[in-house]
Structure 1
Amino acid sequence: MTSDDPLETVIGRFGKYQAWILLLLTMGRLPSDFQLVNVVFVVPSVQYVCMDEGTQNLTNHCPCDNPMYDTSAIVNSVPTTWNLICNKKHLASLAQSSLQVGILFGSILYGYISDRYGRRIAILLALMSQIFFVGTSAIVPQLWMFIVCRLLIGASVGGTLICCYVMLVELSGKSFRPYLTGLNEIAYTLSYILLPLIAYFVRDWRYLQLSISMPWLFVLFYYNFIPESPRWLITKGKKDQAIEVLTYIAKKNNRPTNNIKHIVEKELLHNNSDQQNNGSYLDLFKTPKMRVYTLINALIWLCCSHTFFGINQYIGRLDGNIYLNVFLSAIGFVPALFLVVALSLYVSRKMSMVVTFVGTGLVLLVFIFIPSDMKYATLGFAIVGQIIMYIAFILIYLYTSEVFPTVLRNSAMGFASMFARIGGFIAPFVVNLDSEWGSILVFSAVSLLGGALCLPLRETKDTVLLNTIEETEHYKKKKTQSQ
């Protein structure tokens, strides 16, 4: 199964048209990616002086009915708006974690929509809904309304993260997939760098939410620019539409179009012989290899998300300027994009994932023994751990998109992402443990577990994307016969 990709011969591995789609999706994704990192500014840990009678102006004293919050960094946040301190502190964690719950359901919903009704409609729906719900969250008067908005924002985030990535993978040739690992993450890295700069000047959480959503209303016009995935059209037997899309892309990339009809018909014949053009979440568990890939990938995503978002929120609690700390951690992601491309090009997928998971776990173990008064060393190790886990996160996106067939690719990533959200949901509660070393130890152990889970997986580097479950189940047999 390492032969030439027929669709790559038609539209090229990554031409001008694919670059245009990458630009559109990168810009359109920014509101979603802002939501993944803005928790440190919207729902931060707050400091206050209790002004109740008899408390003698104690700091962070509980119970406290009349707190005076420290507004030197953040003027207004969700905890200060609704006094989420003392016996309401758990509601702050819930407000943080509700986004992850929303992403969980969104990953499932949009994964189903994408595999059933098309990549294009799922992407457009996710991009448009993110603008609406982020904007709405900025004006709600009640905490429960904000939490509901966070859930709905999370659903759209889940859709954009998975569906945009799969679209880029399916529009590209196998030889270009390693570069997509870095290119796809430009949106997240850009949002991470821009957010502390925006938040520095917009220190009220309501105005911050509006600032990172309303300017993106231009995604309403994406309907005329985003195509349907030709690979998805072929798996659904939509011959004429597949030919039309491939011809359009080939012309944009200045490639010949005379053999497109023949290639599409050949692919349709091959897919119809397998009789598996419609996939569902149940198909992830119907066959032996699919069950193994599904369950192991899901647990790996859980470990990765739990550790990554845990470190992300922990950095926001470190001593020093919160805006500078977040900005420095974001800048560290820039070289990570180049490193992950190099790993994808020259190192096996499995080895790369094992090394990054284990590396993060070891860095966090060292972190435990750093004296608390060594602020710069503490920040440095936290950022290094986050960067390595970020690389691992990118790699599992690539691996999951490669190991599952086209008919189930979005569903598989949606299911795995669901487990990632479970890990992300738990992370704030671990961060909020009374024991700092205990929190770090948990994140380290989970990261090491993720590395161990990668060991039984098969290698996918330099392989053509499989289309059907049958091809996936017989992958080794076909490879052996071709040798």
Structure 2
Amino acid sequence: MNYYDEVTAFLGNWGRFQKILFFILCASVIPNGLGVLSVVFIVDNPKHHCSIPDVNLTEDWLQAIIPIEVVNGVEEQSRCSRYRLDEVLDLWAKGFAPGDVNLTQLQQEPCVDGWTYSKDIYHSTLVTEFDLVCSDQWKQPFTSTIYFVGVFIGSFFCGQFSDRFGRKPVFFITLGIQTLFTFLQVFSTSWEMYSVLMFFSGLGQIANYASAFVLGAEVFCGKVRTVYTTAGVCLGFSTGYMLLPLFAYFIRQWRFLVLAIALPGAVVIPLWWITPESPRWLLSQGRVEEAEAIIKKAADMNKVKAPSVIFKNYKAEENTDKKRPRQYTVIDLYRNREMRLPSIILPLTWFTVALGYFGLSLNTSKLSTDPFLACFISAAVEVPAYITTWFVVKFFPRRPIIISFMLLGGAALLTIQAVPQSLPALSITLEMFGKFCFAVNSALAFPCTAEMYPTFIRNTAAGICSSSTRIGSSIAPFVFQLSVYFQFLPYIFLGSVSVASAIAVLFLPETFGHPLPETIDDMQKFERWRCSCTSQKNRSNPVDVLETKL
């Protein structure tokens, strides 16, 4: 049996073929970064209060008719009620000024005439257009939840479809779904219509991200694979995320912002004609001729000579076995003893990571009076996080990496409640450090999952783990709603869950220093219950060298 990397070593690691594909796959992730957190601006809730009809009242009474409430120790105008208009008009007609009466004794009424929204930041959002406030305020976080439910369903089926039909078709089909339904949101005439379109847009969101990740991980070799899986694809996402506040700053109307977010996906779709299928996947399906054709075309692009027959040993085996390759499903992940424990712990771990990552990301507009700057800082924090991921994955075991950043992130969030209110910058710094730690672990999610499972079921496992993160992201919009009970309760909750998950990771096998498993037997070689933090010369990094037997 020949190892794939050894057989295709004549291509080199960084020729024209690899450079073009690296750029395509990283660029394809930019629309994900733009779209997945666009609700931060599209569904943002500007300051508002009850509208006052055009009545004959003095300016003092127009200001006084809105009650004053104390929220988190700060006085502000009520957003959902006003003093009864008929009582105020009666007092005004009798010549009373607001200072002459005890306003708190007046009866209050809901905003029967609608709301007046501040335009200091936005010209329009989904909230201002469809009045998603007061009794309908639950629709604000639920809009994000609907989107992430779509992401969850897409992630669940994406892995299985990708293992069965190929990386390339699933990658581009889900990208097309994401782009089309994002564009259709521009024509929404109600919140219900927008939510349905958001659901279908979510179906393709992370599904194409996962397919792009696996496609690149299976095509690239050596250090290029390390850079791509730990930094390249993640930096592509953070590039889109950093562009989001820039787009939102110049486009203050939500419909035009949605249109701007949809356009980059349309630019990527034509790249179908120059993006190859994964040769590894083709070989796993017995389609040797197609895999060889891709490798030979890559050799031409890299200006190297390819052997006339590349996968000799595989052909010899294929000729003796005409059976159709078995199709594996999610059930196989839990039926097999070696895969069962990782298939329980990894989804729970990535659920926690998604809960923290998206919870903190969706809260950025509340951190500062300038939501664009706050969002950009939140996105920029991910750049050093992904660079850190590349470094630690290359040199350190997996378990201590994940555990350390989960404990550090959880501790930072738990500490926020002890920060004096006079030091808001310190609270923001701790929250951004927590976001940094969650971003590191989110970048570790796919590489660690890929290292844990054999090729024949790797994408299915990645899809299941990705689906669990979508459950976390679906709950994340409601996490900071807990602040109505106690201001710091969201941070206590996220910090506690992060610490608990760090303990669960102790039970995962250690994959550092082992080649990616090709069979179930390969998984039995993983180290369990102990962690060696020193690299040995005779141990290779599985992200650097995929010794995939064909």
TM-score (norm 2): 0.81
For residue 339 of structure 1, the aligned residue among 388, 391, 404 is 388
Aligned partners of 2:274 and 2:214: how far apart in 1? 17
Q: Does 1:107 align with 2:155?
A: yes
1:263–1:18 distance in 2 versus 1, CA, 3 Å: farther
Matching of residues 239-250 of structure 1 within 5 Å: 239-250=288-299
Distance in 2, matches of 1:159 and 1:220, equals 15
Pairing 1:96–2:105 present: no
Q: Pick from 194, 198, 203: which aligns with 1:150?
A: 198
Matched, 1:182 2:231: yes
Cα drift, residue 4 of structure 1: 8.2
CA separation in 2, counterparts of 1:424 and 1:203?
A: 26
Alignment check: 8 A CA contact 2:292 2:311 kept: no
1:33 correspondence with 2:82 = no
Secondary structure at the aligned position of 1:213 is classed as helix
Pick one of 485, 490, 494 that aligns with 1:443.
494
User: In the alignment, does 2:395 pair up with 1:315?
Assistant: no
- Selected match of 1:460 from 499, 511, 525: 511
Q: Which segment drifts farther, 224-233 or 467-476? A: 467-476
Query: In 2, Cα distance between the equivalents of 1:211 and 1:15?
Result: 34
Report Cα offsets for 1:264-288 as digits up to 9, x if no partner: 6279669979996522222212201
Provide Cα deviations, 1:390-427, integer angstroms capped at 9, x if missing partner: 01100111101111111111111111111111111111
Q: How far is 1:376 from its partner?
A: 1.9
CA 1:256–1:456 in 2, change beyond 3 Å: closer, same or farther? farther
CA distance in 2, matches of 1:445, 1:294: 22
- The residue number in structure 1 matching 2:176 is 128
Distance (Å, rounded) in 1 between the aligned partners of 2:320 and 2:394: 29
Q: Distance in 1 between matches of 2:157 and 2:308?
A: 37
Which has the larger Rg? 2
Q: Structure 2 vs 1, CA of residues 81 and 179 (structure 1 numbering), >3 Å: closer, same or farther?
A: same
Give the distance between the partners of 1:303 and 1:423, measured in 2 at CA: 7
Matched, 1:57 2:66: yes
2:236 and 2:465 mapped to 1: Cα distance? 21
Residue 395 of structure 1, aligned match among 427, 435, 444: 444
1:77 aligns with 2:77: no
Indicate how the Cα distance of structure 1 residues 476 and 364 shifts in structure 2: closer, same or farther if over 3 A, else same.
Answer: closer
Match of 1:201 in 2: 250
Amino acid at match of 2:40: V
Corresponding residue SS for 2:49: strand
The match for 2:409 is 360
Evaluate the alpha carbon distance shift between residue 265 and residue 362 of structure 1 in structure 2; reply closer, same or farther with a 3 A threshold.
same
Equivalents in 2 of 1:303, 1:262: separation in Å?
42
| CA distances 1:364-386 after superposition (whole Å, capped 9, x unpaired) | 11122222342322222211111
Asked whether the equivalents of residues 276 and 468 of structure 1 are also in contact (C-alpha less than 8 Å), the reply is: no
Match of 2:366, SS state, is: coil
Residues 367 and 264 (structure 1 numbering): CA distance in 2 closer, same or farther, change over 3 Å? farther
Give 1:260 deviation, angstroms. 5.0
The aligned residue for residue 410 of structure 1 is 459
Cα separation, partners in 2 of 1:385 and 1:367, compared to 1, 3 Å: same
> Cα offset for 1:474?
6.3
Q: Is the 8 A contact 1:306 1:426 kept in 2?
A: yes
Q: Does the CA contact (< 8 Å) of 1:404 and 1:472 recur in 2?
A: yes
Give 1:76 deviation, angstroms. 1.0
The aligned counterpart of 1:327 is 376
Q: Distance in 2 between matches of 1:164 and 1:177?
A: 13
Q: Which residue of 2 aligns with 1:384?
A: 433
Partner letter of residue 150 of structure 1? Answer: M
Pick the aligned partner of 2:352 from 303, 314, 335. Answer: 303
Q: 1:349 to 1:327 in 2, by over 3 A?
A: same
In structure 2, the CA distance between the partners of 1:277 and 1:229, relative to structure 1 (3 Å rule), is: farther
In the alignment, what sits opposite 2:88? none
Give, in whole Å, the separation in 2 of the partners of 1:215 and 1:474. Answer: 44
* One-letter amino acid of the structure 1 residue matched with residue 50 of structure 2: C
State the identity %: 24
| Aligned twin of 1:292 | 341
Residues 357 and 279 (structure 1), Cα distance of their counterparts in 2 relative to 1, 3 Å cut: same
Q: CA deviation at 1:175?
A: 4.5
Structure 1 residue aligned with 2:72: none
User: Residue type matched to 2:497 in 1?
Assistant: V
Count of equivalent residues: 478
What is the CA distance between 1:255 and its match in structure 2? 4.1
Q: Structure 1 residues 442, 273: CA separation in 2 closer, same or farther (over 3 Å shift)?
A: farther
Unaligned runs of 5+ in 2: 54-61, 68-76, 82-109, 529-537, 540-550
Equivalent residue for 1:229, pick from 265, 275, 278: 278
Taking the aligned partners of 2:17 and 2:394, their CA distance within structure 1 comes to 23
RMSD: 2.7
1:68 aligned counterpart, secondary structure: strand
Of Structure 1 and Structure 2, the greater helix share is in: 1
8 Å CA contact 2:50–2:115 kept in 1: the answer is yes
- Of stretches 57-66 and 414-423 in structure 1, the one that deviates more from structure 2 is 57-66
Report the Cα distance in structure 1 between the residues aligned to 2:311 and 2:127, rounded to whole angstroms: 61
SS at match of 1:257: coil
User: TM-score, normalising length from structure 1?
Assistant: 0.92
Most deviating of 104-113 and 325-334: 325-334
Deviations 1:184-216 (A, max 9, x none): 112111112111111001011111010111244
Q: In the aligned structure 1, how far is the partner of 2:493 from the partner of 2:131?
A: 29
In the alignment, does 2:302 pair up with 1:253? yes
- 1:262 is displaced (CA, Å) by 3.6
- Distance in 1 (CA, whole Å) between partners of 2:429 and 2:185 is 34
Work out whether residues 17 and 253 of structure 1, in 8 Å CA contact, stay in contact via their aligned partners in 2: yes
Structure 1 residue 346: Cα displacement:
1.3
Taking the aligned partners of 1:255 and 1:24, their CA distance within structure 2 comes to 22
Most deviating of 315-324 and 418-427: 315-324
Counterpart amino acid of residue 289 in structure 1: E
Q: Tell whether 2:160 aligns with 1:141.
A: no
CA separation in 2, counterparts of 1:89 and 1:475?
49
Report the alpha carbon displacement of residue 111 of structure 1 after superposing the two structures with TM. Answer: 1.3
Aligned equivalents of 2:363, 2:380: Cα separation in 1: 17
Question: How far does residue 362 in structure 1 lie from its aligned partner after superposition?
Answer: 0.8
Report the secondary structure of 1:316's partner residue. Answer: helix
- DSSP-derived class of the 1:371 partner: coil
Say yes or no: does 1:427 pair with 2:436: no
Q: Distance in 1 between matches of 2:521 and 2:489?
A: 46
Please give the secondary structure, in 2, of the residue aligned with 1:432: helix
Structure 1 residue 244, shift from structure 2 partner: 1.0
Flag the 1:211–1:360 CA change in 2: closer, same or farther, 3 A.
Answer: same
